[in-house]
């Protein structure tokens, strides 16, 4: 697994802030909004996608949900991005939807877990995201799933 650069970590922090700025107001009206949670992009790693573009794939935590997120590399941004992305990972194929944030970040996302109201802290949410990403990045054979 390739280690992320300081700039990539900074970009993920900015992505989480932009996502918060776009979605926070609407999330506060959701019955399972968890005020103990914030916005964080974590557990990202580089993934080659079908010999074409390289993506960074990881989790986005919000006060309401956890998302699987794929970020196109700057190299693959020569053309406008499609509305959906079929992401092939060791655990299977995931269909993600495109979103352009006000700050200019582009991402693909898929809801993985909704209603995080029972989590007590961001540390707990981060541990859950780590477990989720381990499961998603492992093959079904490794997990004992057929």
The ranges assigned to domains in the chain are 6-138
Q: Which residues contact 83 (CB under 8 A, 6 or more apart)?
A: 97, 98
User: pLDDT tens digits, residue range 125-140?
Assistant: 999 999 999 999 997 6
pTM (2 d.p.): 0.89
DSSP conformation letters of 67-110: EEEEEE-GGGTTSPPPSEEEEEETTEEEEEEEEE-TTS-EEEEE
Q: What is the side-by-side strand order in the sheet with 92-100?
A: 40-48, 54-61, 65-72, 106-114, 92-100, 84-89
For residue 139, the model assigns a pLDDT of: 79
Residue 50 has pLDDT above 80, yes or no: no
- Residue 46: is its pLDDT beyond 80? yes
- The correct CATH number of 6-138 out of 3.40.1260.10, 3.30.1460.40, 3.30.70.1290, 3.40.50.300 is 3.30.1460.40
């Amino acid at each position: 697994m390739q280690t992320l650069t300081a700039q990539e970590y900074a970009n993920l922090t900015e992505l989480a802030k932009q996502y918060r700025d776009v979605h926070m107001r609407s999330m506060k009206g959701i019955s399972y909004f968890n005020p103990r949670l914030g916005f964080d992009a974590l557990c990202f790693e580089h993934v080659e996608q079908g010999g074409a573009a390289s993506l960074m794939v990881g989790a986005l935590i919000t006060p309401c949900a956890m998302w699987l997120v794929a970020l196109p590399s700057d190299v693959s941004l020569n053309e406008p991005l499609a509305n959906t992305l079929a992401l092939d990972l060791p655990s299977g194929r995931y269909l993600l939807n495109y979103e352009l944030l006000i700050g200019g970040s582009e991402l693909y996302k898929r809801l993985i877990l909704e209603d995080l109201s029972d989590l007590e802290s961001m540390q707990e949410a981060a541990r859950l995201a780590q477990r989720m990403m381990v499961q998603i990045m492992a093959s079904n054979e490794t997990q004992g799933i057929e």
